[in-house]
A and B are shown apart, each in its own frame.
Chain A
Amino acid sequence: MMINRRSFFIIYVILVLISLTGILLPLDGALAQEISPSGPTDDEVNAIAKQLYCPVCENIPLDVCPTQACTQWRELIREKLTEGWKEDEIKNYFVAQYGDRVLAAPPARGLNWLVYIIPPLAIVGGGYILYRALKAWKQVPPVSEEESQSFAEQDDEYAARIEEELRRR
């Protein structure tokens, strides 16, 4: 049973680690782009606009926001691209002009670190508490291997189990 508990713990740690990968990976999915000679295409503009939010239409990414202010912003991205600006430069320009909220996620500095740190911390903490609790809970040694053997495999056993569960409803 000790082995089982350990392997359970390992599965458990793996689950928690998987949960963390998403948060800890950098949020920067930027693609390197070559600007076509005939000026930036709509798709090149949208690739950047997708990552920005304009304060005029809340929670709608800039590439699909229909207001005039957002149309102008997209034109601004086009202008900057034509001038040869890189994606990061454009994003920084927008932040300097309009504040941090234009970015889809808070830049990781100062207090904003909390947004990335708290969920993994909470999940690890919760996982630890759950693990401790399960361990403490499981004080009585479970049925021996032979006993659990008798519980498995046979269809009749399985049916009996279902029937029993039904009865206990």
Chain B
Amino acid sequence: MSDTPTPPEPENVESPEKSKRKVAIFGRNFSVGALAAWIGLFALLALLAVGMLRNQEGPVTVGETVPDFTLTTFEGEQISLADLKDKVVVLNFWASWCKPCEEEAADLETAWRIYEPGGEVVFLGVDYVDTETEAQIYLEKFDITYPNGPDLRTKISQAFRIRGVPETYIIDKNGKLAAFKISPFLSLAEIQGMIDPLLAVQN
């Protein structure tokens, strides 16, 4: 597959007796070299097509079942999405080097404190490509109390196909994506506006 751009190299120097090697496909004769050239070309095109389709795929869409993931928090606790069925999950991607993230940090924490007593909503913070030292300073600065953890091997962000930080995904009680926000929340009301309808559905 590697040498796809040069598969025909063998033929250019093919000796007469070699070119007699033929393969019959659908009643037509193909020389081995020509067959290899076609296979190489289509393998390359297929590869590019798959790569491009992946690339053109947008983020997870609303209504879609969200990919499962496990977040290891800074405290070492393992939180898996599968364990959070029957809860609304607010999944926030952030980083300490991200200025816009700071705009929403306080609002997110306030919202968490509103919903925490009800026990119906879980907030999770995923720290994208960041260092733990800086992340801890950030968490302390905004007094964030909901569970946060690093995005190990960037697996979670890749699963959600995020474009950058901050991005927030709100997952309903059935594990489906209910809403998402690319860019920081501008107010507490905006966050509540996304979560409240999900609680109303069930109750």
Contacts and interface: CB of A to CB of B under 8 A. Distances in A.
Interface of A: 54-56, 67-69, 72-73, 75-76, 79, 95-100, 114, 118-119, 121-122, 125-126, 129-130, 132-134, 136-137
B15 A136 contact: yes
A118 B12 CA distance: 22
Contact of A137 (B15, B129, B134, B152): B15
Given A55-B129, A98-B129, A72 B153 contact: no
Contacts of A73: 131
Given A97-B153, A126-B9, 4 more contacts: A69-B129, A99-B153, A118-B1, A137-B15
Contacts, number: 64
Contact of B10 (A56, A97, A129): A129
Interface string B155-171: 10000000000000000
A96 B152 contact: yes
A69 B15 contact: no
B111 to A, nearest CB: 26
B97 A67 contact: yes
B134 A72 contact: yes
A133 B10 CA distance: 8
A161 B29 CA distance: 46
A69 B153 contact: no
B152 A75 contact: no
Interface in B102-158: 129-131, 133-134, 150, 152-155
Contact of B130 (A69, A95, A100, A129): A69
B129 A134 contact: no
Given A118-B2, A137-B13, A54 B129 contact: yes
Interface in B1-41: 1-3, 6, 9-10, 12-15, 18
18 contacts: A54-B129, A68-B97, A69-B97, A69-B129, A76-B133, A79-B133, A96-B153, A98-B129, A98-B153, A114-B2, A118-B2, A129-B9, A132-B13, A132-B15, A133-B15, A136-B18, A137-B13, A137-B15
Contacts of B12: 133
B96 interface: yes
Contacts of B13: 129-130, 132-134, 136-137
B12 to A, nearest CB: 8
Nearest to B154: A99
Contacts of B9: 126, 129-130
Q: What 4 A-B pairs have minimum CB-CB distances, sorted nearest first? A: A133-B13, A136-B15, A118-B2, A99-B153
